[in-house]
Homo-oligomer: A and B are copies of this chain.
């Protein structure tokens, strides 16, 4: 359930500023607990579960509080929530913070790796996605390819 990759990472301070602004606009505080959650997620690649997050946060945060932070952050659009193969919720920075990317999902160990496409591929994909959306009278908000298979560790 670990992950690795490379991605353009903005300075930590700038990240905090952007999140703080967003939360303020939503009328909620950017408290220490929420800040720790955001920083933890910014430090890893791939979405994390609440359980994994508590391990990373040395100071033991009660799960209920953690879930509340995650819920608030997701509601404010700071985090994206998805679900792994076993249905457990996983969180990652939203695209406007963490960048647009896709997922490699290992069917063996469940690890999720982030990948960026080169510009040409990304554009080709976006074109396909928006064409489909239009043909179905669907208002596209985003798209993502999930590539399923077996990661190098498991094969």
Contact = CB atoms under 8 A, between A and B. Distances in A.
Contacts of A139: 149-150, 155
B107 A136 contact: no
Among A146, A147, A150, which residue has the most Cβ atoms of chain B within 10 A? A147
B125 A147 contact: no
A115 B87 CA distance: 24
Contacts of A136: 104, 113, 115, 151-152
Interface residues of A, number: 39
A96 to B, nearest CB: 14
A138 B151 CA distance: 5
A147 B126 CA distance: 10
A124 B133 CA distance: 17
Interface of A: 81, 83, 85, 87-89, 102, 104, 106-107, 113, 115, 117, 121, 124-125, 128-129, 131-133, 136-152, 155
16 contacts: A81-B85, A104-B136, A104-B138, A113-B136, A117-B132, A124-B124, A128-B145, A129-B147, A132-B147, A133-B147, A137-B151, A138-B147, A140-B148, A142-B148, A143-B147, A144-B146
